Chains A and B, each alone.
Chain A
Amino acid sequence: MSVDYLFFGIIAFYLIGAVSAVILNKKDAICAYTSFISAAIAALLGIIFSISVIFGDTFSYNLSGGSYLKFGFFVDRLSAFFILVISICVFAVSIYSTGYVREYFGKKNIGYLGFLYNIFIISMILVASADNAIMFLIVWELMSVVSYFLVVYEHEKPETRKAGFIYIVMTHIGTGFIMLSFLIFVGTSGSYSFGTFAEAGKTMTPLLKDLAFIFALIGFGTKAGIVPMHIWLPYAHPEAPSNVSALMSGVMIKIAIFMLIRVFFDFLGATQAWWGYVVLTLGTISAILGILYAVVESDIKRMLAFSSIENIGIILIGIGASMIFFASGKPVLASIAAIAALYHLLNHSIFKGLLFMGAGSILYSTHTKNIEELGGLIKKMPKSAMLILIGVLSICALPPFSGFVSEWLTFQSLLLGFNLNETFPMIILFISAAVLALTGALAAYCFLKFFGIGFLALPRSKHAEHAKEANTPMLIGMGIFASLSVLLGILPFYVLPVLERIAASFTGNLESFTFANFATFAIPSSMISLSTPIILALVFIFMLILSLILFLINRKKQPVYETWGCGQPVSTSRNEYTATAFSKPVQMWFKNLYRPARETEVTYSTSLYLKESFKFESKIEQVIERYLYEPVVGFVITRSRKLLVIRTGSIHTYLGYIFGTLVILFMFVIAGGSS
């Protein structure tokens, strides 16, 4: 009973946040505090609620008793885990937001932002807890529409409106596919309740099952940002306010993953091995393409958005591997892969949230998100820089931070493919592992560029020179995520048993893993073990030795001269390495993919040897957008233009169309009636 109160308490606090934002919208500061603090309280309740469901009974509550349309909530361990992820992110992001929205004071309507923010979170929680296809679609649409309004919050900018348009179109295409998938289930089960979908999944013909799988994959894949349905993501996430991008990238795309797990495992039973191959392949492609585009991107938030595609890919790799193992009757391995996916999902929410908040802090103090215009920020905003560094190390999967543990687990679960008896899945799993390794290396490259070019060396523009430290609430919000990143990296043996319970709820694995050992966690039946504390100690020793060596080398400080600069150390920002130059090698290695186009324009003053100005422009091509979407869009537009002739502008013609249709339908009825 108390769980009921807790659940409605969460909703109530978000609603209070939303309503108070509207009421108080005349006073910016009070409005920001009430709406975001209320969201933070609701998030705390959400954490308590989800933990109590994970360790206790499933929660279900019926709103109305009608037999045909039963609206209700159902939270099992899997959905509780996602509510937990949402709540953790919302808690930190809400605190961050109270500081971040100061940017908008006096310029934008804070009440509007606070209202949408709270409604957005409610819709995500309801998506995770809906017990009925109709109710699910309603809250899913609510989530899409509200997030659209959040994306176009800064609607004065034309690129924001364009991003919003792409987002809303793609998300509706996705919802269309979701509806198709659900209708297949409804057609078999005769009910809209999710509870009956699982029964329907057992009795459906294989063809219907395959169709339901494909539609669900396209539908939810669009929201998750899986290649090739990802095109909205690099537009929409950068344009939203940074606190919203943190939630969208951190949480919203994960909700789609939640539904994928729900549909594949709970509804369809994950019986077909080829489903696993498809998911694994798409995951691998998403991972590598996402990071390849991230590497060459010089807009920070766009880069982070591409990196989200990469990480969704890694999560999908785990899920795909889990499906393959499950279909070949190895629930223990399936469970390990699922744990890896869930752990990476949790970690990604946290470090991507942290990085988006970090990008927000940079935007807040420099008013630019172009990496080329930054530089030297570590001296201007040292605290933010340290927190962002933790996020960067995490996303690069370096020990002892959280990204390392989950990516390591993903690798291990892929390599466990040698336990399978068939050759084909083994090959796919190993190729995927190889690509994942490349992805990891490129991710490190990408974020080295981000941190190195953005934070080190000298400021490259006025924006960066006048940067100042982010305000306290922002630092607290980022600090929460940074400390969680460290804790999840050092103490995985406290988290893994929880994830094991969740994974067991859908993979049906009964064998219990041993995580009891404090120093190491090991899964005996498959011989995986990892000791994070030992790694931590090794890292410390290594760092100690390294700094000692550096200290010994640098004892003799070299003097710095300014004059003519022959053989001198770099002293102005014009001599610095730029982000474009840094990513140039990757651009050259993968030039078949990027298809780079460059334009140079030189103007000379008096002679060919005296250059007055030099303009360099370099562009890369979005292959999927260019070769998959543009032809389709072009086709639709040219066909539509041809249809334009029927739009004459005359009322009489329009009425004539109605009249003609009516008469034809009359004839049809008469012909049908007489036969």
Chain B
Amino acid sequence: MAEIVFGSNTMQLLIALILVSTFMILGSTRLYSCVRAFGIQSFLLACVAGIVAYSTGKNDIYIIAVLTLLFKSIVIPYFLIYIIREIKVKKEIDLYVKISPSLIIGGGLVVISYYLIRSINVISELSSFALSASMSLVSIGLFIMISRKKAIMQMIGILIMENGLFLGAISLTYGMPLLVELGIFFDVLIAVLIMGILIFRINRTFESVDTSILKNLIG
């Protein structure tokens, strides 16, 4: 069954689109378009969960799909936009790594992830596609956190990583127990809230959300 689900063309397309949305984030210079791309990514992820739920017939996963749609693709992006408006941050992204090298590195990470998943023999050919995409999401998310200066981009980076983990979990297990999933949702929500508050505080203290200023904190 697993191979039917993840082998289907729709699924492959969705996963490919998720990767594309990640590259949208990596390639954009505007905060708003990053947030929007993240919303799209989460929406596609909800679709993946919906298809898995439909083909396995587990009701739990429907709930998860709906929650993903609700929180990750609507609530969190709106919250991020709210933060951007409130702190009146400049709309451009400050970078450590320029856009074109970023895209090349992102591509390299996808290739590494693909080979990495391939080298684990236990996983079947078809579901390994989803897993390598999830691995790419995690590593690109981390890369975004490193290469962008604004604190909001660090937030988006960690959310991308979270999405990657979600994709990996659902492609390996076809839905973890509902309780666990709910726990993770709650976790992400609280994390976003705390990070939002932290960004406000960083902004108030340093009058900027550029995290490279935090270097001054070293004792």
Contacts and interface: CB of A to CB of B under 8 A. Distances in A.
Interface of A: 647-652, 655-656, 658-659, 662-663, 666-667, 669-670, 672-674
Given A666-B112, A666-B116, A670-B116, A647 B146 contact: no
A666 B214 contact: no
**A-B CB proximity, top 6 nearest:** A673-B119, A649-B218, A649-B215, A655-B146, A650-B215, A670-B115
Given A651-B154, A672-B119, A673-B120, A667 B112 contact: yes
Contacts of B113: 666
Contacts of A667: 112
Contacts of A670: 112, 115-116, 119
Contacts of A648: 215, 218
A652 B96 CA distance: 9
A648 B116 CA distance: 31
B145 interface: yes
Contacts of B218: 647-649
Nearest to B108: A663
Contacts of B154: 651
B189 to A, nearest CB: 23
Nearest to B112: A666
Contact of B214 (A651, A663, A672): A651
Contacts of A655: 142, 145-146
12 contacts: A648-B215, A649-B214, A649-B218, A659-B139, A659-B143, A662-B139, A663-B112, A667-B112, A669-B120, A670-B119, A673-B116, A674-B119
In the complex, which range does the number of interface residues on chain B fall in?
20 to 34
Contacts of A669: 116, 119-120
Nearest to A656: B146
B212 interface: yes
Interface in B78-136: 96, 109, 112-113, 115-116, 118-121
B216 to A, nearest CB: 7
A44 B96 CA distance: 71
B12 interface: no
A651 B211 contact: yes
Nearest to B116: A666
Given A650-B214, A670-B119, A659 B112 contact: no
A656 B116 CA distance: 20
Contacts of B217: 649
A663 B139 contact: yes
A173 B138 CA distance: 38
A644 to B, nearest CB: 10
A669 B123 CA distance: 15
A659 B218 CA distance: 22
A425 B216 CA distance: 65
Interface of B: 96, 109, 112-113, 115-116, 118-121, 139, 142-143, 145-147, 149, 154, 211-212, 214-218
Chain A interface mostly helix, strand, loop or mixed?
Answer: helix
Given A650-B214, A670-B116, 20 more contacts: A648-B218, A649-B214, A649-B215, A649-B218, A650-B215, A651-B211, A652-B145, A652-B146, A652-B212, A658-B142, A659-B143, A659-B146, A662-B139, A663-B109, A663-B139, A666-B113, A666-B116, A670-B119, A672-B119, A673-B120
A648 B146 CA distance: 14
A658 B145 CA distance: 11
A600 B112 CA distance: 73
Contacts, number: 55
A255 to B, nearest CB: 40
Contacts of A652: 96, 145-147, 149, 211-212
B93 to A, nearest CB: 14
A226 B154 CA distance: 53
Nearest to B139: A662
Contacts of A672: 119
A581 to B, nearest CB: 48
Nearest to B135: A666
Nearest to A647: B218
A652 to B, nearest CB: 5
A659 B142 contact: yes
B123 to A, nearest CB: 11
B209 to A, nearest CB: 12
A650 B118 contact: no
Given A666-B116, A670-B119, A673-B121, A650 B143 contact: no
B139 to A, nearest CB: 7
Nearest to B114: A670
Contacts of A650: 211-212, 214-215
A663 B143 CA distance: 11
A674 to B, nearest CB: 6
Contacts of A662: 139, 142
A189 to B, nearest CB: 33
A409 to B, nearest CB: 58
B164 to A, nearest CB: 12
Contacts of A673: 116, 118-121
A658 B157 CA distance: 14
Contacts of B120: 669, 673
B40 to A, nearest CB: 25
A539 B211 CA distance: 82
A663 B113 CA distance: 9
Nearest to B142: A659
A655 B151 CA distance: 13
A62 to B, nearest CB: 33
Contacts of A649: 214-218
Contacts of B118: 673
Nearest to A665: B116
B45 to A, nearest CB: 22
Nearest to B218: A649
Contacts of A666: 112-113, 116, 139
Nearest to B144: A655
Nearest to B138: A662
B187 to A, nearest CB: 19
A197 B151 CA distance: 55
B219 to A, nearest CB: 9
Question: Which of B109, B121, B145 neighbours the largest number of chain A CB atoms within 10 Å of its CB?
Answer: B145
A122 to B, nearest CB: 36
B208 to A, nearest CB: 14
Contacts of B139: 659, 662-663, 666
Contacts of A659: 139, 142-143, 146
A667 B108 CA distance: 12
A650 B109 CA distance: 23
A648 to B, nearest CB: 7
A674 B121 CA distance: 10
Nearest to A672: B119
A673 B123 CA distance: 13
Question: Which of A647, A669, A670 neighbours the largest number of chain B CB atoms within 10 Å of its CB?
Answer: A670
A672 B118 CA distance: 12
A204 to B, nearest CB: 37
Contacts of A656: 146
Nearest to B219: A649
A440 to B, nearest CB: 53
B105 to A, nearest CB: 10
A547 to B, nearest CB: 69
Contacts of B147: 652
A669 B118 CA distance: 10
Contacts of B214: 649-651
A544 to B, nearest CB: 72
B194 to A, nearest CB: 16
Question: Which of A655, A669, A674 neighbours the largest number of chain B CB atoms within 10 Å of its CB?
Answer: A655
Contacts of B212: 650, 652
Contacts of B143: 659
Nearest to A650: B215
Question: Which of A648, A658, A662 neighbours the largest number of chain B CB atoms within 10 Å of its CB?
Answer: A662
Contacts of B121: 673
A674 B118 CA distance: 9
A651 B157 CA distance: 13
Nearest to B143: A659
A647 B154 CA distance: 20
